[in-house]
């Protein structure tokens, strides 16, 4: 590429780090801004030398990929053409109203609306995100909802991607915003069932949820309700399904605790349900005047459900309601006055089970080999209807209202694809790859019918494998742009996720983290062996913790990949897990281990941390992306990683970094701007694997 500028070569400033008797040297530690807390709130405060380097990296990536710009535009147009621009959600009933959202033609953000129940007119505007977003390069609403008396509407908005939210409220009768702005908030809040109070969560300077406050809903002084003493816990606040309580939850990846405030005494001090015990998780659901407790206590790896009639359901009052069955993960519960609905997952397949007050159960059945289900509980407790969403790699989303008593379903909405979608053109398959230790890893494959299985097709292999998040075989308007070009799209259900139960998660964390990496490689090798592609024609794709996966497999098997796309990649694992000031470090020690106090954890992380294991070998083309306002994976992680890769790689393939200077972890906030970022990823993969002729 003789016409291209040389890649940026940042200065090296070796920093010696001694920890638990071990020593490592970090040549690019200077890329971390010591003032990062201020940068999250105001990205213009990033130190000049860092900003200069990031701009140089963006310019270089732009120059290398300049020939893909027309392809990026086509990909964007294709993906945008699959979006119904004036789309609306299915209205959710609550008392005299039904609430919904709608996008206007061309709008990147929705409007929040309501109308009288059963009416097609009399629409009332609650919040216009598109209007508010006009003032900001980034705008995201993390939570929004009305007070139980339908008089107020509240929302939490983030204007720079840092996830420091501000909460605002609107008086719906007056049609005006209240002079109330709650700053430094977490994107979570709850009205008391009497509508008089707002409970909200405060984030400290290190971006951690640390305190729960209560204030009069229409404005007034904040009162501290709960303060979390452990930096490693996340906080949440919500109301019970039957509006009997306000609940406060504290949890990390392996331990949880819940506090209760009765609805008839919202000023009461919260009462502890059951004190936290390391490794024990529990959550509460109110049903028929008592409590249901979903828990992994007593070795119930895939969770069981206990019941209690106590006002405060401490552990001593629990009795078994639904026993533990290994391999059947109880994902969640939705309670109604006369029915209980649960979502289960087994062998990477979801199912919905409905139970009536007499204890009789039935399963809502589906026919496809691989599909995804999600529950949308709604806002009403005394109802016979529940709502769920069904989709598969070939089937666009379908919203159903399900009558739990008559067992009949009503199709309320089908995701419309304006440019057209013929499901019969595509084929979904479920394969199983064998890991080095004998575990069977599910792989979901989407391709055009008739795709030759002779190794000639290019393939995307997507993976995540962390925090117990399952990779659902969902419908994607984005992946079709590759599949329609003859690519195979494959989803690896690797350990670290909960695709095959909570034990599947436990087998891919802490001192078993490498299982995630070897599982992913096994999936790639199986796809090659079965003729779906061949080594060098596979694009490995993942983001965040999945970006760490990308860094690890690039180090371990660079020969397999024709391209690696690492979005907001968590690649500097050892340094980040050793920095207690960063937002997610103490909360994530249960996931990765604590290298500050545990020598075994230090050595294990050091053995796979992508940044620390870059070696002198020929790396495939790599595109790393990030966001300057990202509080989860800070920008210097991909910045440092690409610098070290470029320094040590013995190959000639491009190693690129693209940092969004106006966004955070989730990328661009607008629904169309986000597609432009995906179009860049896809264009990079096509260019890297198929070459200039495919542009």
For the chain, the domains span: 15-80+425-694, 86-322, 327-417
Supply the DSSP string of 411-429, one letter for each residue: EEEE---TT---GGGEEEE
Burial of 652 per CB tally in 10 Å (0-12, 13-18, 19+) = exposed
Asked if 382 contacts 336 with a C-beta cutoff of 8 angstroms, the reply is yes
pLDDT score of 695: 86
d(CA 597, CA 472) in angstroms, rounded, equals 36
Distance in angstroms (rounded) separating the CA atoms of residues 24 and 7: 26
Residue 605, pLDDT score: 98
pTM for the whole structure? 0.95
Question: Does the active-site annotation cover 665?
Answer: yes
**Residues 171, 185: Cα–Cα separation, whole Å:** 20
Which is catalytic among the residues 507, 630, 649, 681?
630
Which residues 6+ apart lie within 8 Å of 93 measured at CB? 117, 378, 379, 380
Indicate which residue of 147, 308, 479, 544 is catalytic.
544
Contact 683, 65 (CB under 8 A): yes
Percent of the chain surpassing pLDDT 70: 100
Q: What is the per-residue pLDDT across 437-493, written as a single tens digit (0 to 9) for each?
A: 999 999 999 999 999 999 999 999 999 999 999 999 999 999 999 999 999 999 999
Rounded CA gap, 532 and 456, in Å? Answer: 8
What is the dihedral sign for C-alpha 592, 594, 596, 597? negative
Give the Cα separation of 170 and 282 in Å (integer).
35
Do 373 and 390 contact (CB within 8 A), yes or no?
yes
Tell me which CATH code domain 15-80+425-694 carries: 3.40.50.1820
Rounded CA-CA distance 366/357 in Å is: 24
Domains 15-80+425-694 and 86-322 share a fold: no
Would you state the pLDDT for residue 498?
Answer: 96
Answer whether 544's CB lies under 8 Å from 627's CB.
Answer: no
* 479 included as an active-site residue: no
List all residues 6 or more positions away from 639 whose beta carbon is below 8 Å from its beta carbon.
28, 31, 50, 53, 54, 57, 626, 657, 659
Average pLDDT by consecutive 10-residue portion of the chain (695 residues)?
A: 78 97 98 89 90 96 96 98 96 97 96 94 95 94 97 96 95 94 94 98 91 97 97 95 97 95 97 97 96 98 98 98 96 97 93 96 89 94 97 97 97 97 96 98 97 98 97 96 98 97 96 98 98 98 97 98 98 97 90 97 98 98 94 94 98 96 81 94 98 86
* CATH architecture assignment, domain 86-322: 7 Propeller (2.130)
Cα distance between residue 685 and residue 372, in whole Å? 26
Return phi, psi of residue 662, to 5°: -130, 25
The pLDDT value given to residue 207: 86
**128 catalytic per annotation:** no
Q: Residue 197: CB partners within 8 Å, gap ≥ 6?
A: 191, 214, 215, 216, 217, 266, 267
């Amino acid at each position: 590429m003789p016409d291209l500028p040389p890649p940026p070569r940042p200065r090296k400033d070796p920093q010696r780090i001694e920890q638990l008797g071990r020593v490592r040297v970090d040549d690019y530690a200077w890329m971390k801004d010591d003032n990062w807390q201020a940068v999250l709130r105001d990205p213009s405060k990033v130190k000049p030398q860092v900003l200069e380097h990031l701009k140089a990296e963006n310019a270089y990536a732009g120059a290398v990929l300049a020939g893909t710009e027309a392809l990026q535009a086509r990909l964007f147009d294709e993906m945008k053409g699959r979006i119904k621009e004036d789309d609306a959600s299915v209205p959710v009933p609550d008392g005299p109203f039904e609430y919904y959202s709608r996008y206007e033609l061309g709008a990147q953000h929705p409007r929040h609306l309501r109308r009288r129940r059963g009416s097609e007119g009399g629409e009332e505007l609650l919040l216009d995100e598109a209007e508010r977003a006009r003032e900001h390069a980034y705008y995201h609403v993390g939570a929004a909802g009305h007070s139980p008396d339908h008089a107020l509407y509240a929302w939490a908005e983030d204007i720079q991607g840092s996830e420091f939210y501000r909460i605002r409220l609107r008086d719906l009768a007056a049609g005006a915003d209240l002079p109330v702005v709650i700053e430094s908030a977490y994107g979570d809040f709850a009205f008391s069932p009497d509508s008089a109070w707002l409970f909200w969560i405060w984030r400290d300077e290190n971006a951690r949820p640390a305190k729960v406050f209560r204030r009069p809903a229409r404005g007034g002084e904040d009162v501290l309700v709960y303060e979390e003493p452990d930096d490693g816990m996340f906080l949440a606040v919500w109301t019970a399904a039957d509006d009997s309580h306000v609940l406060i939850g504290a949890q990390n990846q392996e331990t949880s605790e819940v506090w209760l405030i009765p609805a008839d005494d919202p000023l009461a001090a919260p009462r502890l349900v059951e004190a936290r015990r390391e490794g024990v998780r529990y959550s509460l659901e109110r049903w028929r005047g008592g409590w249901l407790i979903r828990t992994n206590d007593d070795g119930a790896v895939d969770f069981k459900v206990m019941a209690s009639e106590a006002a405060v359901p401490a552990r001593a009052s629990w009795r078994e309601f639904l026993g533990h069955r290994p391999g059947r993960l109880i994902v969640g519960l939705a309670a109604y006055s006369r029915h209980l609905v649960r979502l289960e997952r087994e062998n990477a397949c979801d199912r919905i089970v409905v139970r009536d007050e007499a204890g009789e159960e039935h399963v809502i059945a589906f026919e496809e080999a691989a599909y995804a289900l999600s529950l949308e509980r709604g806002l009403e407790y005394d109802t016979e209807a529940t709502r769920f969403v069904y989709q598969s790699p070939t089937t666009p989303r379908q919203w159903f209202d399900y009558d739990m008593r008559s067992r009949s379903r009503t199709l309320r909405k089908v995701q419309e694809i304006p440019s057209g979608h013929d499901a019969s053109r595509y084929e979904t398959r479920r394969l199983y790859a064998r890991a080095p230790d004998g575990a069977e890893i599910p792989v979901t494959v989407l391709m055009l019918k008739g795709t030759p299985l002779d190794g000639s097709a290019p393939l995307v292999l997507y993976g995540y494998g962390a925090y117990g998040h399952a990779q659902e075989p969902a419908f994607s308007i984005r992946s079709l742009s590759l599949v329609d070009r003859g690519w195979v799209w494959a989803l690896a259900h690797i350990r670290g996720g909960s695709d095959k139960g909570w034990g599947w998660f436990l087998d891919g964390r802490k001192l078993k983290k490498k299982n995630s990496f070897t599982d992913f490689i096994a999936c790639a090798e199986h796809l090659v062996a079965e003729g779906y592609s061949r080594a060098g024609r596979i694009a490995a794709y993942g983001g965040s913790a999945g970006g760490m996966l990308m860094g690890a497999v690039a180090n371990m098997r660079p020969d397999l990949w024709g391209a690696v796309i690492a979005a907001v990649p968590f690649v500097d694992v050892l340094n980040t897990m050793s920095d207690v000031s960063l937002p997610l470090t103490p909360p994530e020690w249960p996931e990765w281990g604590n290298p500050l106090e545990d020598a075994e954890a230090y050595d294990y992380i050091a053995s796979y941390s992508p940044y620390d294991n870059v070696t002198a070998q020929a790396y495939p083309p790599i595109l790393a992306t990030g966001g300057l306002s990202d509080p989860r994976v800070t920008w210097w992680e991909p910045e440092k990683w690409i610098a070290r890769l470029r320094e040590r790689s013995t190959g000639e393939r491009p190693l690129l970094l693209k940092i969004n200077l106006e966004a955070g972890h989730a990328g661009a906030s607008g629904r169309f701007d986000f597609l432009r970022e995906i179009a860049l990823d896809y264009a990079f993969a096509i260019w890297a694997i198929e070459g200039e002729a495919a542009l």
